[in-house]
Structure 1
């Protein structure tokens, strides 16, 4: 079973509280059925939460507040990049380039997921981040990862020119690849 850190769950619940209102949190818990306890238990950011509970939460948020196409997961990924970045690291983001920050994606990946690996390669005008061997790929997760990368580039102060998923295991590719183009 694949796991994700509770910080991803907490960021999404924070998004609900701040963007939609705290009164919307309890109905979400109630709608999560068998995943409710795992989501409620995500009180400490470093706890591991089953990935399927994370997916159920994202799908429910998209159903309630999105358009049902999982595009809201990209917004949630951007929000997570913003709120889960400790103040001390903001300094490094401001003085580092997006390329430098995204070279650290492999270390960041293993601190947030217990499955798969991530790597980055430089291309003209940006980079490609590859996620390989992730146990349970899901469309909402790919959207969230893309949103996280977009916001990471923006936090560095660079201009984001484009961001897209250029390959996906769900479409038969060997790995999920995210192409991020920016001006540093």
Structure 2
């Protein structure tokens, strides 16, 4: 595969989000912020199962945050959350609701390599305290937008399990000079 790759399902979900929240005009505005490769990815039909370049994915999310968000990268949290909901089939959702938060987070960590060509996501949780901590490990190109995306995806997974009042935070990020990338999630 060569360069770090991500599954196109993340871009597919973001294209759906743009259509839902901003319509065709949203694509036009966003396209002006993208490289030719980014514009092509935005405009062409996409197979969610294909692999795309990680840096192209990051470019799209940064541009979306600049155009539709606050410009600080945090729109990626909502986009990751939305992606968890969109990319979970309606067939699987009832089964996920039957599982505990711990079961759902363990499953999410096991499918990491179905979405990213490198790295892993290790999860520790304390269900009685309703908290979990995840660490992105062995990922060669940490970026805060990627970290926010994974945090949002984790929040979405916990929501899919039926938990309410789910919140999360980036405790530390290698892209910000920390030794580790740690995410924390809480729920009611």
Q: What TM-score does the superposition give when structure 2 sets the normalisation length?
A: 0.89
**Among candidates 35, 38, 44, match of residue 37 of structure 2:** 35
**Partners of 1:45 and 1:6 in 2: CA distance:** 5
Aligned runs of 1:5-154 on 2, under 5 Å?
A: 5-36=7-38, 37-40=40-43, 43-123=46-126, 124-154=129-159
Point out where structure 1 has 5 or more consecutive residues left out of the alignment. Answer: none
- CA deviations on 1:153-177 (whole Å, 9 max, x unpaired) are 1121112453111121123333311
- CA deviations on 1:95-119 (whole Å, 9 max, x unpaired) are 0111111011232211000011111
- CA deviations on 1:77-110 (whole Å, 9 max, x unpaired) are 1111111111111012110111111011232211
**Partners of 2:68 and 2:121 in 1: CA distance:** 30
Q: What corresponds to 1:173 in structure 2?
A: 178
**Partners of 1:107 and 1:42 in 2: CA distance:** 28
**Partners of 1:131 and 1:38 in 2: CA distance:** 26
SS of 1:70's partner is: coil
How many residues get paired? 183
Point out where structure 2 has 5 or more consecutive residues left out of the alignment. Answer: none
**Partners of 2:177 and 2:73 in 1: CA distance:** 20
Q: What TM-score does the superposition give when structure 1 sets the normalisation length?
A: 0.91
**Cα-Cα RMSD:** 1.7
Q: What corresponds to 2:160 in structure 1?
A: 155
**Partners of 1:93 and 1:48 in 2: CA distance:** 26
